[in-house]
Structures are given as C-alpha cells and as structure tokens.
Amino acid sequence: MTLVNYSDLFNAEGLIISGVYLLLFIFFLWCLTSSEGYDKNDRSLFVALFIIFTVFSFLICYVEILPFFPDTIKFAELVENGSHDSSSLGVRLYVIISYPLRLLAFEQIEVYLVFQIFFYFLSVLLLWNGWKIHCSHMKIYAGNFQVMAILAMLYPAALSFITIPLREFIQVFGFSLFLYGLSQYIYNNNLKWLVIGALLTVFVRPQMVVVYPFLILIAKQYSILKLSIFGLLALPIAILLFENVTGYQFNPAFFSYLRSAANDSYGDSGMTYGIVNWQTYFDVIADLPLLILQFVLSPLPILHSVNPITLKLLLLDVCFVIVILFGACSVKIRFSNFYLKMFLCLIAIFSIWEFYIGGAVRHRFPLIMMLLPLATLYYSEKLNMLLKKR
C-alpha cells in the first residue's frame, strides 16, 4: 500500500498507548524538574508546553499547517516495520540507535511521536542545566527558565522537525547531552555524558565525528595561540576519524566534488546553492564567509536568487534565528565566548558541505539550540528591566 501521509498508519490501539505514555512522561518531567530544583511555576509551564507540543504534533497530521516532507513517510515506515531503502550511513546507523525506542513504542508511529517530543523537552532541560553549571562557576545570573522554555517551544525548526517522523530529535538530544557533558567535564572533570552525547549524534550524523576534538579544545578556554597549535595537532585525528567513519575523503577537491554532484542531483528543485571549485584550503577559506552567511541566514538570498517570501516557514525560522543570534551576541563576551567559539567552529564546518536552502534550516537547528540559554539570559534581563519600570 502506498501511503499518502504517515497518519494513514495511525490506529486506535496506537492512540491509546500514546495517551498512556503522555501521562507517564508528564509525571516524569514533573518529578525530574522537582528534583532539579525548579520552582512550581517553572515546572507547571514546562509540562503545559510539553502537552501543547504533543497535541500540535497530532493536529498537523490532519491540518495542513506545515509543508509536506517526503522523508516523513520513509521514517514512519521505518518505525512501523524496521525497513528502509536508503544507502545513507546516517540512516543505517539511525536504524540501530532507534531500535530500543521503536520497541518501547510498540512499533507504532503515533507512539513514537510522543517519544520524539519527550526527548526534545529533555534536551531543553539538558541545555539549561549545562548553562546553569557554567553560570554558577562564572557567578552570574543564568536567566529565567520560563523564557528558555517558551523560546524552545516557539522555535519554528522545532515545530517543523520534532513534531513529524524525522531523526532530528536524537540529533538535538545527543548534542544537548554533549553540551551538558562538556560543562560537567570542564567544571567537574566528568567525561561520561560528553562521550554518550557525542556517540548519539554520530549515530545520526556521522559527519559530526570530525567536530568533537575541536569543540573539546575550544571549550577548554585555551588562548588563540594555544588553540591554533592544539587544533593543528588534532586535525590529523579528526581527518582519520572522518574518513574511517564516513568513507569520504577529507580534502578540498572532494568537498568541491560533493557540492557539485549535489547541485546536479537537486538542481531542478531550485533550492540549491554554492557551486564551488576548490583545489586548495585557501579556496575553501575564500568562499567560507558567504557560505556561512547563507547557512545561518537561509532562506535569505545570499548565494541564490529564490524569493524567500515564497518560503514562508523558512522565512519565519530565520526571523527567529536572528532574534536568538542578537540575544546571544549581546551577552558579555567573557561569559558567552565558551559557547560562541564552538558555534563559529560548527557553522564553519557545516557550511562547507551544506548545499540546500531547506537543508541549512534543518541542519543548523541543533546549533541554534545551543545559543538559546545565552539568548534567554539577555531577554530575561530585558524583561526584568521592563517589569521594574512598570
């Protein structure tokens, strides 16, 4: 049977189990936030947003609010029967890492959606707890958690990619766990969560294996000179990991070939950008500023001529991203540089191989999430000032 929408797989049994899991997760989040020291208002809002987010995920199956993503049917079928026809290493690894969740969801896509949203909300808690550890050692105010929760709820990419059958939720959860683990490693010398988070993300996006040696170096707060020296020393390790895990070559000519091949394959969609001719690393560096701008500000026309007004959801997303970037960059640099340096490293690496307007929005999602706590601090202070004036 050819599916028109993944909601065709829904049944009464799955919806009942979804309701049971929803109640269990509400109870778990309430207890978890209680044990972590959140006040009653924080907990109440957080749980209420979790319920709204879950209801929204089922509503969009029947009301055309979001554009249709063809991948959703493939990932829904993967949940229901464990099969896929993709040669992508990331998808094959996702089949492995998602197996326990698919079993717990009784291989019902409607139940699995509740799991996706639950893990997204756990990601928000992990990001916030890692940020609080950082702020505690910096002896600064972390911000208002309710502002963080509302920003996470309103993020268009989250509403678009967490509420439908895709693998982004594990990517966001794994990366959030890594960032939480990074705070634990830097300030408490605990490596456990950092390693687990890194492994989870590599199982979804194998290319991420190249970034972690650099992120750990950056997070250790070395000087620019030391960072450059250690970065050069870490580069051979990163290249070896990248080539062995992904099977790709790590050189400018091969990345240029990948971009050209992708533009040839998807050029008819009108959504590709950034045809390049790279022979040396200097060629890459020369093109990188515009590639970074296009990646961070998609769908704005920087390296393409598509009218962003025709891409309403993506345009809404970049408006949100600009708000978050403004807030994050407005925090004092001595408090934010730990996060901003990692963000710059990540967007530079991601920009090298991103070629699709919609793909940029989807793949920058976890990177923008890491800036939510910083933006929360800025907007919390502005909100406090406004309330005091009133």
Lowest-pLDDT range of 19-33, 240-254, 321-335: 240-254
| Residues 267 and 146 grouped into a single domain | no
Assess if residue 269 is contained within a domain. Answer: yes
CA distances to 44, 46, 47, 300 from 26, rounded to whole Å, are 10, 10, 6, 38
DSSP 78: H
Assess if residue 235 is contained within a domain. Answer: no
Assess if residue 177 is contained within a domain. Answer: no
Assess if residue 1 is contained within a domain. Answer: yes
SS percent in the chain: helix, strand, coil, step 5: 75, 0, 25
Residue given tokens 């189990």 in the structure block: 17
Q: How confident is the model at residue 2 (pLDDT cuts 50, 70, 90)?
A: low
Say whether pTM exceeds 0.85. yes
The predicted structure's pLDDT at residue 191 = 87
Q: What pLDDT, in 10s, does the model give residues 358-368?
A: 999 999 999 99
Q: What pLDDT, in 10s, does the model give residues 151-174?
A: 999 999 999 999 999 999 999 999
Mean local confidence (pLDDT), 185-201: 90
Are 73 and 5 a contacting pair, CB within 8 Å? yes
Mean local confidence (pLDDT), 355-384: 95
Mean local confidence (pLDDT), 328-346: 91
**Domain containing 96: what range?**
1-127+138-167
- Residue 379 vs residue 83, higher pLDDT: 379
The per-residue pLDDT of the chain, averaged, comes to 89
Domain finish residue from 114, 146, 167? 167
The predicted structure's pLDDT at residue 222 = 62
Assess if residue 356 is contained within a domain. Answer: yes
Buried b vs exposed e over 52-73: b needs ≥16 C-beta within 10 Å? ebbebbbebbeeeebeebeebb
Lowest-pLDDT range of 102-111, 160-169, 174-183, 206-215: 206-215
How many domains does the chain fold into? 2
Are 81 and 75 a contacting pair, CB within 8 Å? no
| 100 SS3 class | helix
Mean local confidence (pLDDT), 194-202: 92
Mean local confidence (pLDDT), 169-188: 94
| Residues 147 and 266 grouped into a single domain | no
Q: What pLDDT, in 10s, does the model give residues 34-86?
A: 977 789 999 999 999 999 999 999 998 888 777 777 788 889 889 998 877 77
| Residues 30 and 147 grouped into a single domain | yes
Residue given tokens 């009133």 in the structure block: 390
Cα distance between residue 14 and residue 199, in whole Å = 30
The predicted structure's pLDDT at residue 194 = 92
- Residue 5 vs residue 18, higher pLDDT: 18
